[in-house]
Amino acid sequence: MTKMTYAEAARLALKEEMERDSTVWALGEDLGFEGGMGGQYKDLQAEFGADRIVDTPISEATIMGAAIGAALAGTRPIAELRFSDFAMCAVDELVNQAAKARYMFGGQARVPMIARMPIGIRGGIAAQHSQSPEAWYTHVPGLVVVTPATPADNRGLLKAAIRCDDPVVYMEHKGLWGAEGEGE
């Protein structure tokens, strides 16, 4: 068993899945420039290129809409939404489009994408960056909701989420990013 942080476990899962499947890619704010929140995308743009680790403008609705369209077209995008609070700007796309696509198209369409959003409070980030709306998403038919608790959970569940053919709301607590534990 290998010790690693919660954030390192997620980064390793992303790297392994991107190596395994060329249709896996990520989009969001500052993923390549700063490595994303908690450094979970650090150096991945240098390794996989700017067409697979895509820096976007600050527009959650655009990030989510692009991810859903790309998933319907056959790729496996990871839409990084930086804070779960701001994901509310993309709820229409996630809840009314991605979650319902399989039903609306009689099972002929799949939306294999992840809406990845950090949850919970962390020092110095204020009220608009500290919500935990996971319970909202659990009530939406068509969405899979994941909240990993340990580094091993984060690694394994992120890999499973990437391979899932349904839209996954993947919520990592910001307070766990530095937590250490077994990563396998």
What percent of the chain lies above the pLDDT cut of 90?
A: 71
Catalytic residue among 15, 110, 122, 129: 129
Instruction: Note the pLDDT tens digit of each residue in 85-97.
Output: 788 888 999 999 9
The answer as to whether 184 is a domain residue is no
Q: Total structural domains in the chain?
A: 1
The answer as to whether 182 is a domain residue is no
Q: Which residues does the chain have with pLDDT short of 50?
A: none
The answer as to whether 87 is a domain residue is yes
Residue 67 and residue 120: Cα distance in Å, rounded? 24
How is residue 44 written in tokens? 């991945």
What's the CATH code of the domain at 20? 3.40.50.970
The answer as to whether 7 is a domain residue is yes
- For residue 114, what are the β-bridge partners? 78, 168
Q: Is 139 a catalytic residue?
A: no
Of the candidates 178, 172, 130, the residue with the CA atom closest to the CA atom of residue 147: 172
The answer as to whether 183 is a domain residue is no
Q: pLDDT value at position 161? A: 98
Expressed as residue numbers, the domain containing 148 is: 3-177
Residue 137 and residue 94: Cα distance in Å, rounded? 10
Q: pLDDT value at position 46? A: 94
The answer as to whether 159 is a domain residue is yes
Instruction: Note the pLDDT tens digit of each residue in 24-57.
Output: 999 999 898 777 777 788 899 999 999 999 999 9
The answer as to whether 169 is a domain residue is yes
The answer as to whether 36 is a domain residue is yes
Compute φ and ψ for 121, nearest 5 degrees. Answer: -85, 150
Cβ–Cβ contacts within 10 Å for residue 178, how many?
A: 11
Antiparallel, parallel or unpaired: β 114-119 and 76-80: parallel
Q: pLDDT value at position 38? A: 74
